[in-house]
Amino acid sequence: MAPGESSQHNTLFATDQDCISYLFQKRWPNGFRCPFCNRLQSEISPAHTIVCRYCRKQSSITANTLMHGSKKSLTEWVQVAAQFCFSKEGVSARSLQNSFHIATYQTAWNWLKKLRKAAAIAESAPLTGPVLLFVTTTGDADSPLRYISNIACLMEVADLPKQPTRVRLVSLLGTPQNPLPHIVKYSIPTSATIITSESIALSLADIRLDYHIQTTDSENQKAIELLQELQQWMSRIYRGATGATYLQGYLDEFCFRHNTATWNNRLAILDHLLTGIMSGHAIPQDKTTLDK
Write the DSSP assignment of 37-71 as a string of letters.
T--EETTSPP-SEEE-TTT--EEETTTTSTTTT--
Q: Which is nearer to Zn ion, 38 or 106 (CB)?
A: 38
Helix or strand run (H / E) with residue 155? strand 151-156
Q: Which is nearer to Zn ion, 61 or 91 (CB)?
A: 61
Q: Which residue, among 65, 59, 63, has the nearest Cα to 33 in the 3D structure? A: 59
- Do 207 and 194 contact (CB within 8 A), yes or no? no
Min dist CB 64 to Zn ion, Å, is 15
In angstroms, the CA 190 to CA 185 distance is 7
Min dist CB 20 to Zn ion, Å, is 20
Q: Which is nearer to Zn ion, 41 or 203 (CB)?
A: 41
Q: Which is nearer to Zn ion, 41 or 288 (CB)?
A: 41
Is the four-CA dihedral 64, 66, 69, 71 of positive or negative sign? negative
Q: Which residue, among 285, 284, 256, 283, has the nearest Cα to 66 in the 3D structure? A: 283
Q: Which is nearer to Zn ion, 14 or 51 (CB)?
A: 51
Min dist CB 42 to Zn ion, Å, is 14
Min dist CB 29 to Zn ion, Å, is 18
Q: Which is nearer to Zn ion, 41 or 95 (CB)?
A: 41
- Do 77 and 19 contact (CB within 8 A), yes or no? yes
Could you say which DSSP state residue 207 is in?
Answer: G
Min dist CB 23 to Zn ion, Å, is 20
- Neighbouring CB atoms inside 10 A of 177's CB total 5
Min dist CB 44 to Zn ion, Å, is 11
Give contact residues for Zn ion (rule: CB under 5 A).
34, 36-37, 52, 54-55
Q: Which is nearer to Zn ion, 37 or 158 (CB)?
A: 37
Min dist CB 282 to Zn ion, Å, is 22
Min dist CB 89 to Zn ion, Å, is 45
- Tell me, rounded to whole angstroms, the distance of Cα 29 from its chain centroid: 21
β-pairing, 212-215 vs 193-196, is parallel
Give the up-direction half-sphere exposure of residue 17: CA atoms within 13 A in the CB hemisphere: 1
Question: Helix axis angle, 16-27 relative to 266-279, nearest 10°?
Answer: 70
Q: Which is nearer to Zn ion, 55 or 202 (CB)?
A: 55
